[in-house]
Structure 1
Amino acid sequence: MAKFFKMHLLLIYGASLIALFGCSPDSSKAHLTVEHAARGAFAAAISHDGRYSLVSSVEHGVVLWDNQAHGLQYQWTHSDQPDDLVHSLAIAHDNSTAVTAANNRFALWRLSDGNNIGYYQIDTGTIRDIAVSNNGRYVLYGRSDNVVVHLDLDSGRRLEFLGHQEKINSIALSPNGHFALTGANDYSAYFWDTRTGQVLHRFNHPSRVTKVALDPQGRYAFTADSMKKASIWQLTSGDLVAQLQYIARQKIFSAVRFNQQGDLLATGSPNRQLTLWRVSDGAKLDTWLVKPREGSRPKSAVVFDVAFAKRDALLVTESSSGLMEQFERVKE
């Protein structure tokens, strides 16, 4: 049974979790750090504006944090089963709803009051990634059996996208729920219309596609594979805009976000790196490092999500360290 607690009922709990660290002379480090999961996080998502963080951990279930007030808003659970871990989360672009997913079930939550909107069970495959549209009307999830499912929770309409030949790794949904970008182990990413299932563009890679993202304004798509190719595409034409410029022989992305203007891209990696790129030519503009958890071995952290805040002056991250960090950007 789901449960949620208002912030004033969790004052003691919230106070025990929050730890603020002062400014650091090292420009590669965060200027603000807030602890969101004392023993590290299992998964996390940030709202597009950096206002909210949704964090899953073994100790606390799923918690929603307000990153402006640095307060705990709600605590949610799927079930009392300890192995029913929430590994995929998303917040709607309009901050209306959030979706949380374990292997075989997902739940929808309202951010205004913390109430559960519904629980949903899947019978085939397991959920690999999940997304939710504005107002919580549409949910998109990718499964381990190569299928992507688009649900209209208002009408009950269900569409299964069968274009992929291997398991799904990453998905993205437009804010209005009408377009999807999906990447899989079959070396391809598809941009398709969720109302018809029609493929609008196919983006090919030399290895399995591990991460995809959509510009919320509908201008660009991002696709990256497991080796060296990370590309930005123009959605209207399907043409290549740029490839991210880096010399590493292999680079994996665990988080990606376009800014609101569509001229910047932020990425996070499993090796603590947070990087800012220019969309027009894929040039690297800046790099930071998120903080590893105290006492962790090895001293590393996965960047789960990143968002732009304060008119792109700040980048906000959540990582496996259980920390929310804010990095100041020096504008050109």
Structure 2
Amino acid sequence: MDKKRVSVPLVCHGHSRPVVDLFYSPITPDGFFLISASKDSNPMLRNGETGDWIGTFEGHKGAVWSCCLDTNALRSATGSADFSAKVWDAITGDELHSFEHKHIVRACAFSEDTHLLLTGGLEKVLRIFDLNRPDAPPREVDKSPGSVRTVAWLHSDQTILSSCTDMGGVRLWDVRSGRIVQTLDTKSSVTSAEVSQDGRYITTADGASVKFWDANYFGLVKSYDMPCTVESASLEPKYGNKFTAGGEDMWVRVFDFHTGEEIACNKGHHGPVHCVRFSPGGESYASGSEDGTIRIWQTGPLTHEDSEALPAPVPGGKLKVGGAEELSRKVDSLNITDEVKPKEKEEVGNA
């Protein structure tokens, strides 16, 4: 690869406490969106391309540890230290459902078909809520061996992935039987697990290394030792030729997927990086930090390898992410606070 590139990021302010989770929606007719979870208890929705703040979901009384958007970016979900997982209308900002738990909810994920919500946390129980029957008791999957740190769906919602805060490995659960069918072994606990956009790979960060697993046969494809303890990693979704990782040294690094060579090292955060995620088109990636900011980094000019893989140009040129009128409608219809920066609220629980 050619010499390392240094990016100047878009800096997104607004959170008053550390940003601990980020999630990009797929590309929708209105563009794509970015939701952030923070210990300030106020998850925020942004334009995924520009980073512009759209609105704040208000209602949690404790740190928000996890956030996600459904396939159409019409609903969002959050898991919190206030012992609840909430589902929100992503257009109006209204709370649609609040699912009570007996302990801190550390992770949540919508199913691919958007009908189910998966949650996990310090109760060591994986729960599946049917959003078409929100008043019905959730289905509980066989007890997790440890406190749940991450969850994800794969194989068209037939398999659940989870990792634990207090032990190594990633467990794959068969949804029908509710049993663990496979464990991906790691020495340390997995703090980040992501299923690639094409469903081929599972990307994990376990502190000392970033690993890529075959999502269908579960074999280890690649493992790279990291220059520092990393908390999160994300694979570029379009070509799969690079990945980003961030952790305790406050830097956001980009690596070559095939060789593990470091391509870029982005400095700017003033605290450890808790989460990194690529945008759905791969043109940028976002990082959330202990310093309370989100930074959106452009991937820079395409390499020669990238340009060879590009499809024919679409008439009209660059994809336009939503019209100004549509974005204005979304902003106007959201229940938003008077000022972008919310008041800091007392954190409930600290896991």
Which category of TM-score, normalised to the shorter sequence, fits these structures? 0.5 to 0.7
Name the CA shift for 1:39/1:157 in 2 (closer, same or farther; >3 Å). Answer: closer
Partner of 1:141: 162
Listed as ranges, the matches of 1:289-304 within 5 Å are: none
For structure 1, the 5+ residue unaligned runs are 1-18, 20-27, 283-308, 317-321, 328-332
Partner of 2:95: 72
| SS class of match (2:249) | coil
- Using the TM superposition, give the Cα deviation of residue 132 of structure 1 relative to its aligned residue in structure 2, in angstroms: 1.9
Partner of 1:125: 146
Whether contact under 8 Å (1:98, 1:132) holds in the other structure is: no
Matching residue within 207, 210, 215 for 1:194? 215
Instruction: Return the alpha-carbon distance in structure 2 between the equivalents of residues 34 and 223 of structure 1.
Output: 27
| SS class of match (1:208) | strand
| SS class of match (1:136) | coil
Deviations 1:137-157 (A, max 9, x none): 221111222121122324656
Higher relative contact order (CA 8 A, sep 6+): 2
Residue 269 (1) aligns with residue 289 (2) = yes
Instruction: Return the alpha-carbon distance in structure 2 between the equivalents of residues 326 and 49 of structure 1.
Output: 25
For structure 2, the 5+ residue unaligned runs are 1-41, 43-49, 303-319, 331-335, 342-351
Instruction: Return the alpha-carbon distance in structure 1 between the equivalents of residues 205 and 121 of structure 2.
Output: 20
Residue 169 (1) aligns with residue 188 (2) = no
Whether contact under 8 Å (1:30, 1:326) holds in the other structure is: no
Name the CA shift for 1:247/1:216 in 2 (closer, same or farther; >3 Å). Answer: closer
Residue 100 (1) aligns with residue 123 (2) = no
TM-score scaled to structure 2, two decimals? Answer: 0.62
Name the CA shift for 1:218/1:109 in 2 (closer, same or farther; >3 Å). Answer: farther
- Using the TM superposition, give the Cα deviation of residue 211 of structure 1 relative to its aligned residue in structure 2, in angstroms: 0.9
Name the CA shift for 1:197/1:124 in 2 (closer, same or farther; >3 Å). Answer: same
- Using the TM superposition, give the Cα deviation of residue 112 of structure 1 relative to its aligned residue in structure 2, in angstroms: 4.7
Instruction: Return the alpha-carbon distance in structure 1 between the equivalents of residues 281 and 113 of structure 2.
Output: 16
Matching residue within 277, 285, 288 for 1:257? 277
Matching residue within 37, 52, 74 for 1:51? 74
Q: Which residue identity lines up with residue 252 of structure 1 in the other structure?
A: P
TM-score scaled to structure 1, two decimals? Answer: 0.65
| SS class of match (2:114) | coil
| SS class of match (1:254) | strand
Instruction: Return the alpha-carbon distance in structure 1 between the equivalents of residues 112 and 285 of structure 2.
Output: 17
- Using the TM superposition, give the Cα deviation of residue 202 of structure 1 relative to its aligned residue in structure 2, in angstroms: 1.3
Partner of 1:206: 227
Partner of 1:298: none
- Using the TM superposition, give the Cα deviation of residue 111 of structure 1 relative to its aligned residue in structure 2, in angstroms: 4.0
- Using the TM superposition, give the Cα deviation of residue 312 of structure 1 relative to its aligned residue in structure 2, in angstroms: 11
Whether contact under 8 Å (1:134, 1:176) holds in the other structure is: no
- Using the TM superposition, give the Cα deviation of residue 264 of structure 1 relative to its aligned residue in structure 2, in angstroms: 1.0
Instruction: Return the alpha-carbon distance in structure 2 between the equivalents of residues 269 and 76 of structure 1.
Output: 28
Residue 225 (1) aligns with residue 247 (2) = yes
Deviations 1:18-42 (A, max 9, x none): x9xxxxxxxx996543342253433
The number of aligned residues is 260
Listed as ranges, the matches of 1:307-326 within 5 Å are: 310=321
Percent sequence identity is 16
Deviations 1:280-307 (A, max 9, x none): 479xxxxxxxxxxxxxxxxxxxxxxxxx
Matching residue within 182, 187, 201 for 2:204? 182
Partner of 2:174: 152
Partner of 2:333: none
Deviations 1:82-133 (A, max 9, x none): xx22111223455343211022111123445546662124353332222223
| SS class of match (1:272) | coil
| SS class of match (2:191) | strand
